[in-house]
Structure 1
Amino acid sequence: MQERFETVKNLHSCKMTEGASVSPHVLNMKGYVDQLDRHRFPISQELATNLILNSLPDSYSQFVMNYNMNNMEKSISELHLMLKTAEQNIKKPSSNMLMIQKGKGMKKKGKGKARVAKGVATPVAKPVEQVKPQPAPASKHPKEKEANCHLCHAPGHWFRNCKHYLEDLKKKKG
């Protein structure tokens, strides 16, 4: 009685982790189903199949949906073969993907320096081109003649009228 309870508990708690191989997982669950059969507590093929499909990770959701929509009734062995085929078509997570963990590498508010998580590439600032002051075009606004440009620091024009700024805009658009 206790062994049967433990077997049912283990069968219901089986969950395949994302990225793990499907074959050992299905064989493990089939072992529990066979063990229940030996304890004179057989479960139906449909229930066993549903338990296996429910234990799969989200990457198999398309497979599960297709299986259910087509009303397939397969044995556990046939399901196992189908899952092995589906596993080959499921894209594995790339090892080049940058994983960010919550709380690590984040800048703290207040005192102290920002910490960077190990293995995370930090962006490098590109050197800024030195801009030589140019004479500004005539302006219609009287205060513009008194102002200095924030980009080239030349007097007589505003940032929005700076030749360098306008040239950069043209380059980005074209």
Structure 2
Amino acid sequence: MIHMKYYFDVQNEVACLMLSSMSLELQRDLEKYKAYDMIQKLKTMLEEQAKQELFETVKAFHACKQEDRQLELGVSLILNSLNKDYDQFVQNYNMHSMGKSIVELHAMLKLHVKGIPKKAKTPIVLAIREGKIHKDKKKPKGANGKDKENNKLAYAPKPKIPPPPKRDNLLKDSVWHHCKEVGH
């Protein structure tokens, strides 16, 4: 009997210690349980909570991964749309800068643009007039159309040569090489 009373006292003491470490709400829910039953009930409750937390964590992880995929897709679209002036930039980005946000990529592109040498303006169009090379300047025509004389071409167009008449018999109509006579 003493042994049983000791066991009961220890069990009550453990239950009291457990309840004292809990919130008031949990104390109200678990005060009617013995220490072992209290542990089982807590285990069941915490397993449900752990499952819910795991679900929420996995859900947040997948949402984060989805954002990463969208970010990677956006960056990829931007990099693939750049012209050949950015080939070196794209190569460097792919080797060193993975995982940058679109804002960071934009800032990097702005810095790169400053380093690209300026292209020359559109080349000057040259025209040949009367045997001389002149820069093509648009001049307004005079009231009488006097500028027509200045725009003459330096070469004459080829005359149209009519094709030779069709021959029925090539041997009879041909000029012979040795004797220079037509037909034989």
Give the TM-score of the pair, scaled to structure 2. 0.31
Report which of the two has the higher share of helix.
2
Greater Rg by CA: 2
Query: Which structure is richer in relative contact order (CA contacts within 8 A, separation 6 or more)?
Result: 1
Report which of the two has the higher share of strand.
2
